[in-house]
Structure 1
């Protein structure tokens, strides 16, 4: 079985929680203004800065396609507290910075290591779920897009139709890499215009 690569990937638009924190604060991560300007990122940086420096490593090995069995409710954004809990702060409930999107939008996945994909699945939270007060569980999600086998390439764009959803939601993306049984899980926060 091949070994893990030094770099892997993430959703970059809408950004995963840890990629967004790294993108906004990576050059200024000790700035105390983060505590008031971006409190969810602040708590994440305080909990484990490596979760942001390693924004491209939020995965688990050997899920065998049983994502719900491998990742418990309330731990979806940390991939079941993978990497010895490195990403646990991604599960924190609160007002993560969200990007505005139209109801028809694109999810972009950066595949730095050119792993390719057996598939990508994109889920959205159901209308009525409140990510500001509720932990994310599997029953809160609805599959809205799926892309099958994808050859290795640096960027993959997935078209998504959010239907009649309005307000704040979580985009949950699963990337099943094709180089080995390696599953990536990304929470991205959006507000539908």
Structure 2
């Protein structure tokens, strides 16, 4: 009787058969180690209400970004997706490092809505962006995937007479409204804003100074004061 341990003709032994599998696992592990980590440390956030421009486009069209109806129904999101879809896919990562609080000096006029990131330049384009209806007193809501917390938020509203449909936003077009205090790390942060004297289409411009590093985020949210 032949031992069960003896190889049969035309068949490899089990240890021999497993060698290519082990080599493949090792190769995949080495390749994974060479890839950048894209977990929670790389995830951030945005203003979800009133929705920032990139977030609004992602929320409304992210699941159907190839739909030609967008060109007629939401032309500003259409031009943004045509310019760079990554602007919307990475709505949570519009950050710059190391500004040291010098937001105005390091952010040229006309580049505020993109946080001076060239890949997000479509967000600076004037036009009929979709608007969120707000009253004179409203709540701003941040969603932060990685729970970084905030040193502060600064809130501005575009001045009366500024037309977001035809003009790029500059620092001279803004009224300073408020600066908050610190917020502990959390995925959801909300705070109230009080304004007066605004009607119709305006831009709410928010700066978020994150707490974990010197990282600054800037967004434009289009609102309709009613």
TM range (shorter): over 0.9
Out of 146, 149, 171, the position equivalent to 1:113 is 146
Q: CA deviation at 1:7?
A: 1.0
Query: Could you give the per-residue CA deviations for residues 139-177 of structure 1, whole angstroms, max 9, x where no partner exists?
Result: 111111221111101111121112111111000000000
Q: CA deviation at 1:30?
A: 0.4
CA distance in 2, matches of 1:144, 1:169: 13
Out of 156, 162, 176, the position equivalent to 2:209 is 176
- The equivalent residue for 2:198 is 165
- The equivalent residue for 1:47 is 83
| The 10-residue stretch of structure 1 (145-154 or 21-30) with the greater mean CA deviation from structure 2 | 145-154
Q: CA deviation at 1:99?
A: 1.1
- The equivalent residue for 1:141 is 174
**Secondary structure of 1:27's match?**
helix
CA distance in 2, matches of 1:5, 1:69: 28
- The equivalent residue for 2:124 is 91
- The equivalent residue for 2:105 is 69
Aligned pair count reads 188
- 1:145–1:159 CA contact under 8 A, matched in 2: no
2:13 maps to 1:13: no
Specify which structure has the higher proportion of strand.
1
Alignment gaps of 5+ in structure 2 = 1-37
Out of 99, 102, 116, the position equivalent to 2:135 is 102
Specify which structure has the higher proportion of helix.
2
CA distance in 2, matches of 1:53, 1:21: 10
Q: Which has the larger radius of gyration?
A: 2
Alignment gaps of 5+ in structure 1 = none
Instruction: Tell me how large the CA RMSD over aligned residues is.
Output: 1.2
Report 1 or 2 for greater relative contact order, CA contacts < 8 Å, sequence distance ≥ 6.
1
